[in-house]
Amino acid sequence: MPLLIMKLIHVAAVVVFLGTIVLGIYWKALGDRTRDPKIIAHTLEGVIGADRRLTMPSATLLFIFGFGAQGMGHYPIMLPWILWSIILFVISTIAFMGFVSPTQKRMLALMRSGNLDWNQYEALSAKWRLWGTVALVTPIIAFVLMIVKPQ
């Protein structure tokens, strides 16, 4: 597979990856504004489904084709922009898998429970926003590093 195709698939995966994260934040904010547990639950189901169908597969493609392009292009992995982008991507993955995803599931369970505690939901939302920010900002920095390629 030519290097250009590797890069193209890598960049497309980045677009889907970042776009899905940003839209998830947007839709959750819209759902939360209603303060309606049914709407919030529906929104969370959509965000969780988008993560399963778009964020995670695009992250996998991003990883595979990023390393593929690095190898085919004979770029040393220790170039600062490559190394730091990998580190930031790993941090994003840990934030998402370790904190964002489980918190989304807890928020959804709370909305479905029929025994809603808004204080508990707000605490979970604050945790989700904190780790979601980490999961979003780190790949944005990696995106910038990949374009600017600082030495």
pLDDT digits (tens, 9 = 90+) for 76-107: 999 999 999 999 999 999 999 999 999 999 99
Instruction: Answer yes or no: are the C-beta atoms of 103 and 131 closer than 8 Å.
Output: yes
Helices (H), the chain: 3-34, 37-50, 56-72, 80-95, 101-112, 118-148
Tell me the CA distances in angstroms from 84 to 8, 67, 145, one per residue in order: 21, 14, 8
Predicted TM-score (pTM) of this structure: 0.92
Question: Tens digits of per-residue pLDDT, 115-125?
Answer: 899 999 999 99
Q: Please determine, for residue 15, whether its predicted confidence score (pLDDT) is greater than 90.
A: yes
What rounded mean pLDDT belongs to the chain? 96
Predicted pLDDT of residue 80: 95
Predicted pLDDT of residue 92: 97
